[in-house]
Amino acid sequence: MESSSSALSRLSNLQRHLHPQHSNSKIQQGLVKLSPEVAEALSTGHPVVALESTIISHGMPYPKNLETAKEVEAIVRENGAVPATVAILDGVPCVGLSMGELERLATLGTKAQKTARRDIAHVVANRGNGATTVSATMFFASMVGIHVFVTGGIGGVHRHGEQTMDISSDLTELGRTPVAVISAGVKSILDIPRTLEYLETQGVCVAAYNTNEFPAFFTERSGCKVHCRVDTPDDCARLIDANLKLKLGTGTLIAVPIPKEHSASGGLIESAIQIALREARDKNITGNAETPFLLAKVNELTGGASLASNIALVKNNALVGAKIAVALAQLKEHSNRGDAE
């Protein structure tokens, strides 16, 4: 059993690695629970990758959701990083879940509240169970000093958003939280050009991985060019490191195209999206219920092809994200050695 002095030393080491704004007592006060594996990794400077949990609870049915969550965590580990799946369980924000906690979240499914930044206080105050979206996962990752976060695709400006003002909090979170988000771009059920305009307004660096074009989640291309291209994990690490050192205070979006072999036909997906959008309007499905409905409908209309593509791109993002986290940890270690000499 670890001695009290050893435990205090470990906590002290962890706090030195935490985000400066949050290093002075969040963990001690019990506001956030770190898994032992994540706490150890952060205290030693080992690469860590944050993972969201809405994809587990709302993205697919049980047991496929549990199987996918385990596979994604395994990919992160196989590529040299520690996975930190984020969720709120019984009112306690957790960064890093045990297998038992993962299974609990998977079986809860949609009974767990879909939790964006605005919902965090409510879920915690009511000791509820919350599956974190991109914005909430970014918030907790930044709180404990995790700089790389892998997801499937981020939210954005909804189609006809200029009339409805339906804009995902993922975008404003990227504008104020210094975490790099590795995604397959923006879900193609959304308005991609307006989403990119909004990210520009928020001061977010949008980089595309091995391409000059922003990917559209299910497909490799959206028709929208990006101003920043990165071709290797080292390129990404340098970009993230510069953003952190300059204290820009914004996130970085690294858009990784879905692998060619899993890319769905753009025309087939677009046709399904148009049908799904009409049905959502007819049924007056709006707000945070809209995206899960649209994705489920598109999956139904494409005979399951879109869900298979979704799982494939999340796994690919986990592979790329883990390599980026490793490159970032190596860059920081090299920088620390240089400072010490």
Which positions are annotated as active-site residues? 52, 187
User: Exposed, middle or buried by CB within 10 Å (0-12, 13-18, 19+), for 130?
Assistant: buried
The vertex-203 CA angle with 51 and 259, nearest 5°, equals 45
The candidate with the shortest Cα–Cα distance to 237, out of 2, 21, 42, 49, is 49
Could you say which DSSP state residue 117 is in? G
**Residue 31 token pair:** 């506001």
Answer for the pair 145, 42: CB distance below 8 angstroms, yes or no.
Answer: yes
Q: Is-contact 83 72, C-beta < 8 A?
A: yes
Contacts of 160 (CB under 8 A, 6+ apart): 166, 191
**Residue type, position 11, single letter:** L
SS3 246: coil
- DSSP 8-state code for residue 136: H
Rounded-to-integer distance, Cα 292 and Cα 151, Å: 15
